[in-house]
Amino acid sequence: MVGDQVEVRILEISRAQVKIGVIAPREVGIYRSEISRLNRSAVLGDLRKPEVKAAIAAVRKALSKNDG
């Protein structure tokens, strides 16, 4: 057990790998560290910089294609 809510089980062992399962109630933030990391990496730089403006324009163009 990890704490009193998260259980880590060894599901399968083979020569080359160990398969591990994590059992946790929905409210445990298994994904939270990944979401935190992604939010931090999504922070924009200076909006006045040409490369930031270009990146925004490229994404905007891609989104407008999705609108069809």
Partner 1 sequence: MAQPQPSPTGVIHFPDGLPGFESLRQFVLLQEEELLPIVFLVSLIEPKICLPLAPIHHIRSDYQLRLTEDDRRMLELPAEVIPGLNVLCMAVLNLGDGTQKPSANLLAPIVINPANCTAKQIIQIDSPYSTVTEV
Footprint on this chain of partner 1 (rule: CB under 8 A) = 26, 29-32, 34-44, 47, 52, 55-56, 58-60, 62-63, 66-67
Residue number, 20 or 59, with CB nearest to partner 1:
59
With beta carbons less than 8 A apart as the criterion, state whether 24 and 40 touch.
Answer: no
For partner 1, the closer of residues 2 and 56 by Cβ is 56
d(CA 65, CA 68): 5
Find out whether 8 and 22 touch, Cβ atoms under 8 Å.
Answer: yes
User: Given the complex with partner 1, which of 9 and 53 has the nearer CB atom?
Assistant: 53
